[in-house]
Amino acid sequence: MTKPDVYSIEPIGVLESPFKQKFAIPRQPALAKAKGKVKLLAPYNDINALRSIDTYSHLWLLFLFHENLHKGWSPTVRAPRLGGNTRTGVFATRSTFRPNGIGMSAVENLGVENTTSGLYLHVGNIDLLHNTPIIDIKPYIPYSDAVQHAHATLLDDKPVPTLAVNFTDHARRQLAQQPYEDLPLLIENCLSQDPRPAYKQSHQDDPKTYQVQLYDADIHWQVSDGAVWVTAIESLS
């Protein structure tokens, strides 16, 4: 057998995202309604490369799972949506542990910004880590990309929030000091999905204090009586 050709890919941009760590990132776009922006890198930071992109409401971002590339891949993976116990073929999942570490995400197009600090494409409904390398941007075309009568028997149900999210008085005072307008909703949307490990999600009372970083804020939270309680929001900057 002839050895297959080897191809190289370089990023065209880098995503600036409120998600500073993988923990608590929603498993699919649109679940947290998070916003970010792609900074185009030279030589792709030519405004002409984005000409007419405003005619599309949504876009596909192709990216690299840059923090997992060194870990390699496996032919089967444990899908979180299936409780983390069932092994499924990697090509039947959107696992981050893939042969080439490439992901794709449908995002909302929020417009282009050309500044002295760089050329940016603002995007919404993201589910990507801060500094994710973007390798391509393509238009989302509804008539072809939204396939009628398509089904996904294994994971056909849209995930729904499972936990109410509450803030202690102390956390609310700290939240009011944060400069990010969308942080309250982002916290609620992310934590309501119950980002704890699958084996913990059946526990209605969990004494462990979890932490997740959103923007430059460290969010401390626990689960009690089947609800999330945010106990502290500490600035990291």
pLDDT, one tens digit per residue, over 140-183 is 999 999 888 888 776 655 655 678 999 999 999 999 999 999 99
**CA–CA distances in Å: residue 206 to residues 164, 168, 172, 203, 221:** 15, 17, 21, 6, 10
Q: Strands, DSSP E only, in the chain?
A: 13-16, 34-40, 58-64, 76-78, 87-89, 102-115, 118-126, 133-139, 164-167, 206-214, 217-224, 227-235
> In 98-230, which residue ranges form alpha helices assigned H by DSSP?
142-145, 169-176, 183-191
Rounded Cα gap, residues 144 and 204, in angstroms: 43
Residue spans in the chain of domains classed CATH 2.40.30.70: 13-145
Note whether 33 and 134 are within 8 A (CB): no
Check: CB of residue 89 under 8 Å from CB of residue 96.
no
Q: Is 172 helix (H, G, I), strand (E, B) or coil?
A: helix
More confident residue, 2 or 190: 190
CATH architecture of 164-235: 2-Layer Sandwich (3.30)
Contacts (Cβ under 8 Å, ≥6 apart) of 194? 162, 163, 201, 223, 228
**100-120 residue pLDDT tens:** 999 999 999 999 999 999 999
Q: What is the pLDDT of residues 9-25, one digit of tens each?
A: 999 999 999 999 888 77
Given a contact cutoff of 8 angstroms between Cβ atoms, the answer to whether 230 and 219 are in contact is: yes
Domain with CATH 3.30.2310.20 in the chain: 164-235
Is 130 a residue whose pLDDT tops 80? Answer: yes
Beta bridge partners of 64: 102
- Nearest-10 Cα torsion for 114, 117, 122, 127: 160
* Residue 160, pLDDT score: 57
Residue range 193-208: average pLDDT?
86
CATH number of 13-145: 2.40.30.70
* Pairing assessment for the beta strands 164-167 and 206-214 based on DSSP bridges: unpaired
